[in-house]
Amino acid sequence: MTRAYYTYRIHVIHPRTVRVEKKEPGKLDNIISREFRYQDKITSEVRELIEKVRKNEIKDANQSRLLGEALFDSLFDDVLCYDFIRFGCGSFGKTFGQV
């Protein structure tokens, strides 16, 4: 049995643009471009956490979660967040025969 592959590839094109490339079996590739919100969403607190990661100093799970959420939020505006979740749920169900 051949498995279907679903790809949701994220590219940071330049400091202000994120491009998402979606690949699904039997469909044309779909590309969406949105604003990269790194400058707007990364606070001084998150910058400190990024520096701690570089130094391998993060030991607290809450700090890791905060950093991950801030980075996710900088890549995914409301439109991409919805699209990412919809794509992931749809491909999971299709892969395992649930949809």
CA separation for the pair 34, 17 (Å, rounded):
6
Averaged pLDDT for residues 13-26? 88
pLDDT at 31 over 50: yes
Higher pLDDT, 40 or 54: 54
Give me the pLDDT at residue 92, please: 52
pLDDT band (50, 70, 90) for residue 1 = low
pLDDT band (50, 70, 90) for residue 12 = very high
Quick one: 63 exposed, middle or buried, by C-beta within 10 A (0-12, 13-18, 19+)?
middle
CA separation for the pair 41, 14 (Å, rounded):
16
pLDDT > 90 fraction of the chain, expressed in percent and rounded: 21
Give me the pLDDT at residue 29, please: 83
**CB hemisphere CA count around 66 (13 angstroms):** 17
Cα first-last separation, the chain: 18
Is the Cβ–Cβ distance between 67 and 50 less than 8 Å? yes
